[in-house]
Structure 1
Amino acid sequence: RPAPGAAGGAAREAARASETRVLGLRPNAVQAVLCLAGFCCCVPMAIPQSHLVAFCGDIGIGAASGAAMLSVLLGCAFVARQFWGAFADRHGGLLTVLCGSACQAVAIGAFLLTQNEAGLFLIAAAYGFGFSGIIPAYVVAVRDLFPSAEASWRVPLVLFTSMGGMAFGSWFAGRLYDLFGHYAPAFGSGVLFNVANLLLIGFLVLRQPGRPWVPARLAAG
């Protein structure tokens, strides 16, 4: 039988170890998953924003219509961000990222399924609705998961890798177009990156204790 002091020390060590875990993982492991997920979601996020006008020209739709689609996309994103902010306040950052990314995946896949101008306007609006809340939700997720004292470096790191995904996605889509002569491989690769993001964020969401759709800071309150 261990001495009472030894047992108490072991309990304190166990408590400290549990406090350093985030979703049952090391904090920096969760940070790495968030950074990789941010990169993967921003690769497809960049493709329509950078190449929509050229994509329209590629399928015989005028540049003016393509520019109008881009305006619709960005306008819907501006309005929808208010919705995603309210959603994140209620359900937390991780679930907001998951839902927004799922909407983005469906929309970017839909670009491959139609060449109709009216249909593309509708898809552009849906895409703007889906992607607009993802990046702010990563900031909320970091605040949900980590102490506020660590936000000064964890948030910039997630945003840095996410913006790296935006830069890579814009370049990569153009490179695939140069190789294949059409945009189907570029948008198809966007779907694959988006699925990878959903798997990574879904992994974190499922590790949340209790009700995974409620952030710990709200459940505790």
Structure 2
Amino acid sequence: MEAQASAGERKLGGRVDSREAWLIAIAALIVPSISFGATYIVIVALKPIAADLGGYRSIPAAAASLAMLGTGVGGLAMGWLAERIGTRLTVMMGAVMMCAGLILSSGGEVWQLYLGHGLLVGFLGNGAINAPLYVYITRWFERRRGTALALIASGQYVAGAVWPSLFERAIAAYGWRQTMIGFGVLVALLIVPLAALALKPPPASPDIRTATGPRGQPDRVLDLPAGTVFALLAVASFLCCVPMAMPTAHLIALCGDLGLQANTGALMLSVLLSCAFISRQFWGWLSDRIGGLMTLLLGSLAQATAIIAFVFTQDEAGLFAVAAVFGLGFSGLIPAYILTARQLFPAHQASWRMPALLLTGMSGMAAGSWLAGMIYDYAGFYAPAFATGFAFNLANLLIIGNLVLLGRRTMLRTARAA
């Protein structure tokens, strides 16, 4: 297993929290900054793809959902594979599969779009990149783990800040099919050599339980069965990611419906994701100080506040402001789930618990993107979709709030016993 690297590999890997660890974290940030660009093409080209493939926005929205769902499901399988062949090889394989998926998706048939995005871009592509990188980077850090997770998790937002405006220009000049092909080739040419050179075997991780249940009860977490706590985290991850995906996947189309130009919508999405990148570093810093669960509670409150604002905002300036606030609010959630799992459960379980949480999160994002498209097709406007997202967010707050209370009670009980 990668966590139990040989002595030679440990020597190559260096020490946790070292300068080398941060250089590897930067390389791990660059990889998803490129790879997650693939999922934004169908978002930027949602209207022209829908026009070419039957007129229904739920078709490209479903392709985006399949890519997210495939990334989550693939993370479980690829997390297992990375433990056996190393993260470097799974990332290289993922880049090649993503290239093939975008080429297939450009074929012009609905089934090609779905298969290319669900299987190749998602399951075998980002699935081989995203979850393995999360597990990999936690083995390079101990004291600054939350900050490091926030950094590499920002890759998706770097992709969102950089690529949509470029895709908008490329689609206008060459069409969405040629844009997919060109970007697929670029992904393979950039990620394969970067992974080969930068992703070294990690140092060994001691299997230390932190923030678990009372001493002598290794199967209990927060004074509950460990499986119950993990199931609650998984459900909460799904619930928070449904509303998270709605503005991201449909913001450009919303702008078009309001009479704004396509480049304005692409710029607005870039602003949203640029704000997410900047604030994610703050959330990572904060999570190292207050813990993963409390960060989840604060981030979920911020996301709920922002998504309900989309229901009542119709003008360009207001949408730019709400998009920025949404980006600032929701960006700390995904790495906080990963950090919470690492804090509550043993290190040797990271290779399946982290991908499982990413799967439920990606499933929520897939459901949110598709659900917003379906509600729009039924209602003819986006306000009901955002209101539905707000309801999902409230359910998430109920679960996380109770877990935070359980955590505080457990700490008080432990302090009194000591």
Task: Give the distance between the partners of 1:26 and 1:77, measured in 2 at CA.
Answer: 34
Distance 1:205 1:15, change over 3 A: closer
Match of 2:387 in 1: 188
Per-residue CA distance 1:138-175 (angstroms, 9 max, x = gap): 01101111121221211111111110111111001000
Count of residues in correspondence between the two structures: 200
Q: Equivalences for 1:61-210 in 2 at 5 Å?
A: 61-209=260-408
Contact 2:223 2:410 in 1 (8 A): no
- DSSP-derived class of the 2:389 partner: helix
Instruction: Using the TM superposition, give the Cα deviation of residue 21 of structure 1 relative to its aligned residue in structure 2, in angstroms.
Output: 1.2
1:32 equivalent to 2:234? Answer: no
- DSSP-derived class of the 2:260 partner: coil
- DSSP-derived class of the 2:407 partner: coil
- DSSP-derived class of the 1:127 partner: helix
Matched letter for residue 148 of structure 1: A
Unaligned runs of 5+ in 1: 1-13, 217-221
Matched letter for residue 134 of structure 1: L
- DSSP-derived class of the 1:46 partner: helix
Per-residue CA distance 1:63-101 (angstroms, 9 max, x = gap): 222111101001111111110100100011111111111
- DSSP-derived class of the 1:19 partner: coil
- Percent same amino acid at aligned positions? 57
- DSSP-derived class of the 1:95 partner: helix
Matched letter for residue 118 of structure 1: A
Task: Give the distance between the partners of 2:406 and 2:318, measured in 1 at CA.
Answer: 38
Instruction: Using the TM superposition, give the Cα deviation of residue 61 of structure 1 relative to its aligned residue in structure 2, in angstroms.
Output: 2.5
Instruction: Using the TM superposition, give the Cα deviation of residue 211 of structure 1 relative to its aligned residue in structure 2, in angstroms.
Output: 8.9
Matched letter for residue 407 of structure 2: Q
Task: Give the distance between the partners of 1:53 and 1:199, measured in 2 at CA.
Answer: 31
- DSSP-derived class of the 1:208 partner: helix
Matched letter for residue 325 of structure 2: A
Instruction: Using the TM superposition, give the Cα deviation of residue 24 of structure 1 relative to its aligned residue in structure 2, in angstroms.
Output: 1.3
* TM-score, structure 1 as length reference: 0.86
Distance 1:157 1:88, change over 3 A: same
Instruction: Using the TM superposition, give the Cα deviation of residue 210 of structure 1 relative to its aligned residue in structure 2, in angstroms.
Output: 5.3
Task: Give the distance between the partners of 2:260 and 2:234, measured in 1 at CA.
Answer: 37
